Structure 1
Amino acid sequence: MNELRFRDVSVRFGGRRRGVTAVDRVDLTVPAGAVVGLVGESGSGKSTLARAAVGLAPLAGGAVLLDGRPLPRTPGRHGVQMVFQDPYSSLDPRMTVGASIAEAAPRGGNTTAEVARLLDLVELAPERAAQYPAQLSGGQRQRVALARALAARPDVIIADEITSALDVSIQGTVLNLVRDLQRRLSLSMLFISHNLAVVRYVSDLLAVMYLGRIVECGPVDDVLGDPQHPYTRQLLASAPRPGGIPTALTGAEATLDSAEPGDPHHPPPGCRFHPRCPVGPLVLPGRDDCRDTEPDGAQRRHQAACHYAAHASEQHNTRSTP
C-alpha cells in the first residue's frame, strides 16, 4: 500500500506558557503511489510536519501512520525518507558521494553495484561515486541526496523545497527527474514547495497550510482551478503570472493582503485567517462566527476549512470572469 497518514498530529516547541504549536491537529493522507503537494507561507508549519514524519520533530499529539501502523518516534525511519532543501548541508562534506549513498543502503549485497545503480537512477555517471560534494554542482548534489534517500528503499519520500536552492536553469531538470522517479518506482510522496507552478507540475493532490493547520485540500486541479478558501485565493493572486506580474488586488483585498500573518505564539480564535480575510468579519457584517468558531473542513473530495467557502468561491469566480 505505502500510504502515509498524519492523524491529528500536533508538534509543539517550548514550554506551556512561552511555547509555540507549530503544527496543530493536522489530518492529512498521502495515498499510495500519489504525490501530495503542500503549500503555505513561510512559518506555516510545512517543514515541521515533514520533520515529524521522519522523527526529527517530536509529536505533542496524534500519530504518523504508514499503512495503518504507527511509525517509531525515532530518527532514521527507513520507511519514510526525506530530501532537504539545501543539498550541500544534507551531505557530509568529508564523505565521498559513494560512501554517503552506501551508508544509507541496507546491509549486505554488492555495495559498489548498488551505488552505481542508484547514481544511474538519478542520471549521474558511476564515476561520481569517488567525488566529494564540494566537487559537484547544486543540481548534482540534489541528485545525490535523492539517490541517498532511495538507497534506504523507502515506501514514502518527503521532498522539502528541494528546488528552491537551485538555479532556475536547472530546477526543471530536477523536477522532471522527481516526477519520472515517482512514476517508475510508484513512490508515495509529500512534496513541499512555496511555488504553485511547481506543485501543479508534480502533484496529484494539494494541501494548503496556514498557521499550523490545513485549510484546504483536494485534487490539485480542483484546488488551483476553483479555490474554496480565501487564503488559497490569496496565494494564487500573489503568484507571478506570465510576464512576472502578480494579479492586482484592490480595496479591502489589497489592505488585508498586506497585513502580517497571525502570531503562531498567540493564534487568533475562531478561524485563524479571519484578521486577513477579504470575505471575513473585518469586511462583511454578520460574520462574527469567523471570530468565535473554528471552521471544520467537510469530508468531501475537495474540502476547505471556511464557514463561507461556497459564497467566497462564487465571489472569486465572478471577479475572475471576463
Structure 2
Amino acid sequence: MSELRFDAVSVRFGSLRHGMTAVDGVDLTVPDGQIVGLVGESGSGKSTLARAAAGLTPLSAGRILLDGSPLRYRGRARRPLQMVFQDPYSSLDPRMTVGASIAEAVPAEAGLRGAGRRAEVARLLEQVGMDPGRARAYPSQLSGGQRQRVALARALAGRPDVVIADEITSALDVSVQGTVLNLVRDLQRELRLSMLFISHNLAVVRYVADTIAVMYLGRIVEHGPADDVLRDPQHPYTRELLAAAPQPELTGLGPLESDPALRAVADAEPADPHRPPRGCRFHPRCPVGPLVLSGRDVCIETEPTGAGHRHGAACHFAGKSHPALEPTALEPTA
C-alpha cells in the first residue's frame, strides 16, 4: 500500500506581516496505485505543494502522510517519494553521464556494486524506452524528450512508493508530449505506482489521471473522478479552465462572450497571492459571481466550503452557470 495524504497542509513564505501563504490548508489524497491530476494556473501553489511533499520546502502547518505515517526523509537510505521536475536539463548534472546520474539514485540498500549497478542502469533505461548505450552520453547530447526519459529513469532508480511529476511535458515539443504521456501511463500501470501528476493543461491531465483536483490561490476548489469533473464541472474556475482549451469548431460570439461584465471578469488578472480577496478568492474573476450578477454578495462576504457540493466544489453557487444559459440558477446550492 502506498497512499500519500496531505492533511491540512499549509506553506508560507516570508514573515507573518509581509509574507504570503502559497498553500493554504490543503487536504488531498493520492490513493494507492492511482494517478491524481493536480491542475491550476501558474501561481496556484501546485509546485509548492509538490516540493513540500518531496521535503524541499518546509511546512508551516499540517502533515504529509505516507500510509498513515508522517513522511520523513532524514536518516533514510531509500526515499519513498521521488519527484520529476519540469525542466529535465536543469534537474540533471551536466557534468555527469546519464548512467552516472541514474546510478547515483540507486539506494545503497539495494546492495548493487560495479557490474550489478551498470546492469540496473541498463534495465532502467530500457524501461523508459531508451537504448542502454546512451548511459555514456551527457545530458547536452540528448533531446528534451530523451532527457525527460532519463529523469523518469532516475526517479524510478530510487524504488519509490510515490512519484510526483511536476509539469513534465510543458517544456517539450507537442510532437514529443504524447510519447512521454504514454510512457508515464504505461509505467504507472506496470509498476502500480501512486502518482501526483501536476499540470496546467487539462487535456494532458484528462489523458493520464484517475482523479482530478483543481487548485486556485493555494486551495483545492474542486476534486473528484476525472470523467465526472471534466464532464460536469461544478466550480466556475474549473469551467474556465475547460473553456480555455481551443475549440476551433465554435464560431461567433456566444452569450458569455457578448456580455460586457463577463468579458471584464474574463480579462481580469489573477489576484495577488500576498493579499487574497476576502470571501471567495475567485470572485473577482468569476463569471457567476457578484461582479456579473446582482444578489451574490455572499461571495464577497463569506468564504465558501466544499461541504455538501458535488466534487467538493468550494463555491456558493456550485454547478450554476450564467443566466444566459441557465435562467433559473439564482439561489445558492445547499
- Global fold match (TM > 0.5): yes
> What are structure 2's unaligned runs of at least 5 residues?
328-334
- Over 3 Å counting, the alpha-carbon distance change for 1:294 and 1:129 in structure 2 is same
Structure 1: how far apart are the matches of 2:156 and 2:251?
38
Q: CA deviation at 1:71?
A: 0.8
Contact 2:213 2:224 in 1 (8 A): yes
Does residue 23 of the first structure (1) align with residue 31 of the second (2)? no
Match of 2:119 among 113, 118, 123: 113
Structure 1: how far apart are the matches of 2:326 and 2:147?
43
Does residue 94 of the first structure (1) align with residue 100 of the second (2)? no
Q: CA deviation at 1:284?
A: 1.9
Greater CA drift, 68-77 or 216-225? 68-77
Match of 1:297 among 283, 298, 306: 306
What SS does the aligned partner of 1:306 have? coil
Contact 2:102 2:153 in 1 (8 A): yes
Q: CA deviation at 1:241?
A: 2.3
Give 1:186's aligned residue: 192
Contact 1:229 1:312 in 2 (8 A): no
Greater CA drift, 7-16 or 232-241? 232-241
What SS does the aligned partner of 1:139 have? helix
What SS does the aligned partner of 2:300 have? helix
Structure 2: how far apart are the matches of 1:21 and 1:202?
29
Contact 1:78 1:152 in 2 (8 A): yes
1:74-223 equivalences under 5 Å are 78-107=79-108, 108-109=111-112, 110-223=116-229
Contact 1:241 1:247 in 2 (8 A): no
What is the identity, as a one-letter code, of the residue corresponding to 1:265? Answer: H
Q: CA deviation at 1:130?
A: 0.9
Does residue 257 of the first structure (1) align with residue 266 of the second (2)? yes
What SS does the aligned partner of 2:234 have? coil
What is the identity, as a one-letter code, of the residue corresponding to 1:35? Answer: I
What is the identity, as a one-letter code, of the residue corresponding to 1:101? Answer: I
What is the identity, as a one-letter code, of the residue corresponding to 2:319? Answer: A
What is the identity, as a one-letter code, of the residue corresponding to 2:62? Answer: G
- Over 3 Å counting, the alpha-carbon distance change for 1:208 and 1:250 in structure 2 is farther
- Over 3 Å counting, the alpha-carbon distance change for 1:240 and 1:14 in structure 2 is same
Q: CA deviation at 1:246?
A: 11
> What are structure 1's unaligned runs of at least 5 residues?
none
Greater CA drift, 164-173 or 298-307? 298-307
Greater CA drift, 203-212 or 253-262? 253-262
- Over 3 Å counting, the alpha-carbon distance change for 1:103 and 1:261 in structure 2 is same
Give 2:72's aligned residue: 72
- Over 3 Å counting, the alpha-carbon distance change for 1:75 and 1:89 in structure 2 is farther
Contact 1:56 1:75 in 2 (8 A): no
Structure 1: how far apart are the matches of 2:236 and 2:75?
36
What is the identity, as a one-letter code, of the residue corresponding to 2:239? Answer: R
- Over 3 Å counting, the alpha-carbon distance change for 1:300 and 1:308 in structure 2 is closer
What is the identity, as a one-letter code, of the residue corresponding to 1:241? Answer: Q
**1:292-318: CA deviations, max 9, x gaps?**
211111267622000110333997678
Q: Percent identity?
A: 71
What is the identity, as a one-letter code, of the residue corresponding to 2:47? Answer: S
CA-atom RMSD in angstroms: 2.2
Structure 2: how far apart are the matches of 1:259 and 1:81?
37
